[in-house]
Structure 1
Amino acid sequence: MSGGGGVGTPEPGGLRAAFGGLTTRGRSFLAAGIAAAVCSYLLGQADLLRVGLLLAALPLVCVVVLHRTRYRVADSRTLAPARVPTAVATRVGLRVENISRLPTGVLMLQDRVPYVLGPRPRFVLDRVEAGGRREVSYRVRSDLRGHYPLGPLQLRLSDPFGMCELTSSFSTSDTLTVVPRVEPLPPIRPAGETPGYGDGRQRSPALAGDDDVIPRGYRHGDDLRRVHWRSTARHGELMVRREEQPQKARCTILLDTRRTAHQGSGPDSAFEWAVSGVASTAVHLMERGFSVRLLTDTGPAVPRTEGTGGFAGGAESAGTGPLLDTLAMVEHSDGEDLSPAYEALRAGQEGLLIGFFGDLDAQGVAVAGRMRRRSGAAVAFVLDGDAWTRGPAGSGHAGVQAPLADRLRLLREAGWTALPVTPGAALPDLWRSADRTGGIPPDDPAAAAPAGPADHSTAGTATGAGSGA
């Protein structure tokens, strides 16, 4: 819910600007009055002159009266909600209040909205008494991500005869944020995760209190199971081990935004599927307590964000707002390779690594292989560019094309859990495949390819990946 307000008066300019507000009816009356006056002079008809002066004076009087009217009108706008997924409507409420001492005439309201959200909403309000208020609302929706300005509100005043209309624009506006669609994902244990870590989180020493000492002397009430016998023998007194506490599981999500790696555009394009997949994965992991960082091929996009550790559900969970706002505006990059993303991963072990890749060439596969060595478990969703170009009707059940199958094999040999993505693929099913089949869907022809030596070593190399992801 958000809102804004402002105060406006129907006085966009001076008297010259007010004459510019003459309607077609007003201009017609003025032209007819002038014509009648000219004809009365040529024909010598005094009665015709009086008719002409009446026709010409009526629109002029309406302009002056409307121009001198001093309405003071306040507006406010509310969005419920202000952040919505694609293809979901939001309600926009407008409230107009007459804060002057005079009642208004007929008010015509028009709110400015981008063409993506549909036509501009228009409303006609009858007389508003002094101190009175009127409320109207409309709905907007968008199939495209982005930040869309709403407003400012335009107010039109007209005289009772329809001779003149004056427009006043308020100064306030609001922003509607349309974020990627978030799909609920099933809890899984990613293939390649190291077993034996309990809930999958690494453990680190406590960082506060006397427990920082390694080791420390025995205190009354300490559990005898914590006695460190080697240190006890060295110091000649009972010594206990330091306490340990779980460290938050870490995850890095990589989004390949290279323009050359994605073909097509629009809500049903491969790139939009990848953006939605990143949003769904990030929300899913953060709700399960992961610390999530978003990377693109150009480098870090969102700093590491701590998860909620709960199951609040939906795109509005605590901590997901900044990440979803960034994904709402992410666009194609002009990058040629994934080297900047790899440089961002060189600092150390990143725990779970999830990549959403477009078309990968040999160099991209090599860089992805080096990324794998900087992470624990690694899952790659590789979009089949050729299939997305043909569309669902063209792809059918022909399976993964040979070039993509070769890249998937190389990624799996490097230790990735690689999954091909074709048009119409459901992310929850692919996410479940990473747990059920080790990253190879049952109908994937690449599953028949001989596995490299590294295919059997991934189960024992991952560290720091969370269970039940």
Structure 2
Amino acid sequence: MTHGGTAPGAQDEPGGLRAALTGLTTRGRSFLAAGIAAVVCAYVLGQADLLRVGLLLAVLPLVCAAVLHRTRYRVAGSRRLTPERVPAGSEARVHLLMDNVSRLPTGLLMLQDRVPYVLGPRPRFVLDRVEPGGRREVSYRVRSDLRGRYPLGPLQLRLADPFGMCELTRSFSAQDTLTVVPRVDPLPPIRLTGEARGYGDGRQRSLALAGEDDVIPRGYRHGDDLRRVHWRSTARYGELMVRREEQPQRARCTVLLDARRTAFRGTGPDSAFEWAVAGAASTLAHMLERGFSVRLLTDTGTSVPGEGADGFAGASPESADAAGLMMDTLAVIDHSDGTGLSRAYDVLRGGNEGLLVAFFGGLDEEQAAVAAKMSRRSGRAIAFLLDSEAWEREPADVPAPLDRAEDRLRLLRESGWTALAVPRGVPLAELWREADRQRSGAGTLSGAEGRS
């Protein structure tokens, strides 16, 4: 994306020469003060030579300010981000383009772009001279370990005279936004859906509609197989009618993110909540790569990309936009003020959700019961349970009793969930494999918990 604007010459700025005098540098103010002092002394002492020196010292910064104020060249600036959306911990490059659109060469130009502190130091560049119609390009890198949306700009241009007596600042109006999305970790391919509820290898069977106006059966179209002609309907309607055929439809996956403030403790990139957000982003990206139609659901009942016909995205050419929308949502998501999971459950019980992958924080007895009921509408349900108390505890500390967490896991597993506790420091890819082993009864998480 490129945004830009034009920085006009000083004569177009309001305030006249008074605005130019406010741009005097320390050197210019010192010359002006010394000149005035010399003129006063020359008048008191009657020294003509001292008067000439004082006038020279006082007039020089004023002349520089007037000349800089009446500079008539115009400079256009633009900014380009590559890329505009970057994972946390990765770098993006910002390109600044400056075009001299006037007929006069510029003098010394100093560029300064405004960036948030979290992205790094404020970049500054010096351009010596730009010929009429010339262009200069400079770039700098930005990086953030914290997800979010960060404004860049506006770009500031400083004009300076050759003697360094005066500097004027002009600002462009355009701004850009850098989106830092959660870190996405690659996940191993595993068999995600079971066959007990008719999902097979993650594929459902549905009728292949050629359009919204199709009925059973539909009219013959050029290229249809004559073996699909429905003769009874043909005789009834007086034209060739064909049967619809079945074809595979993309399986669905809902990623549920528990963002309740009461469910998580701690802040920062190493907190349990940030792990859950990154886990949700990794799961969404992985499922889209595998051809699933996906959606993001929060504890407040908010569904992304939306509440359309089915609320899912991934089975249309606009899937890339939907994936970007979900990542943008995760980039700025924060703790919710809700205290329960009932709103999310109301959304889930509305229909068959296919695969359900949930990232839960701390669950009390009531919310664990609500979460247990969520698996009834799913072909398969996988839950990652983050115990904030255990997560924030240092490894050297005495471990707390795990009875409460084990009770929650047992309840979820008995209700049909493939439930795993998330120890601190264990990557999602390892837990992803463990979920497959737990589904097939080949392993437990005891090894991972022992390493935590």
Partner Cα separation in structure 1 for residue 95 and residue 315 of structure 2: 32
- Give, in whole Å, the separation in 2 of the partners of 1:375 and 1:140: 42
Give the equivalent residue in structure 2 for 1:356.
Answer: 359
Please state how far the C-alpha of 1:70 moved relative to its aligned partner. 1.5
Q: Which structure 2 residues correspond to residues 173-192 of structure 1 after superposition, within 5 A?
A: 173-190=175-192
Report the count of equivalent residues.
428
2:52: which partner in 1? 50
Residues 446/150 of structure 1: CA separation in 2 closer, same or farther (3 Å cut): closer
Identity level (%): 66
By how many angstroms is 1:387 displaced?
2.2
Partner SS state of residue 284, structure 1: helix
Q: How does 1:299-448 map to 2 (within 5 A)?
A: 299-302=301-304, 303=306, 304-307=311-314, 319-391=322-394, 393-394=395-396, 401-438=402-439, 442-444=444-446
Letter in 2 for 1:71: Y
* Structure having greater relative contact order (Cα 8 Å, sep ≥ 6): 1
Amino acid at match of 1:77: R
- 1:230 equivalent in structure 2: none
Would the aligned equivalents of 1:308 and 1:319 in 2 still touch at CA under 8 Å? no
What code does the residue aligned with 1:65 have?
A: V
Deviation at 1:191, TM superposition (A): 6.6
Write the letter of the residue equivalent to 1:298. Answer: T
Matched residue type, 2:433: R
The aligned amino acid for 2:291 is G
Partner of 1:222: 227
Structure 1 pair 160–445 and aligned structure 2 pair: CA distance change class (3 A): closer
1:214/1:126 Cα in 2 relative to 1: closer, same or farther (>3 Å)? closer
In the TM superposition, residue 318 of structure 1 has moved relative to its aligned partner by 6.1
Q: Equivalents in 1 of 2:143, 2:227: separation in Å?
A: 61
Corresponding residue number in structure 2 for 1:295: 297
Q: Specify whether residues 442 and 197 from structure 1 end up closer, same or farther in structure 2 by C-alpha distance, changes over 3 A only.
A: closer
Aligned equivalents of 1:324, 1:305: Cα separation in 2: 15
One-letter amino acid of the structure 2 residue matched with residue 401 of structure 1: L
* Whole-angstrom CA distance in 1 between matches of 2:160 and 2:440: 67
Contact 1:10–1:156 (CA<8 Å) still a contact in 2? no
- For each residue in 1:156-183, what CA deviation from the matched residue of structure 2 results, as whole angstroms up to 9, or x when unmatched? 0111110000000011121111111111
Measure, in 2, the Cα distance between the counterparts of 1:38 and 1:202.
Answer: 95
SS of equivalent to 1:251: strand
- How far apart, in 2, do the equivalents of 1:59 and 1:146 lie? 46
Question: Do the aligned partners of 1:408 and 1:446 also contact (CA within 8 Å) in 2?
Answer: no
User: Contact 1:206–1:212 at 8 Å: present in 2 too?
Assistant: no
The normalised TM-score by structure 2 is 0.87
Within 5 Å, which residues of 2 pair with 1:93-112?
A: 93-112=95-114
Offset at 1:405? 1.2
Pair 1:321–1:191, CA change in 2 (3 A): closer
Shift of 1:52: 1.1
Looking at structure 2, the residues matched to 220 and 28 of structure 1 have their Cα atoms a distance apart, in angstroms, of 92
Cα 1:400–1:428 shift into 2, 3 Å: farther
CA deviations 1:205-251 (Å, max 9, x no partner) are 333489953799xx995389x99xxxxxxxxxxx9986322232111
Which blocks of at least 5 consecutive residues in structure 2 are unaligned?
232-240
The reply on whether 1:167 has 2:169 as its aligned counterpart is yes
Q: 2:125 aligns with which of 123, 127, 150?
A: 123
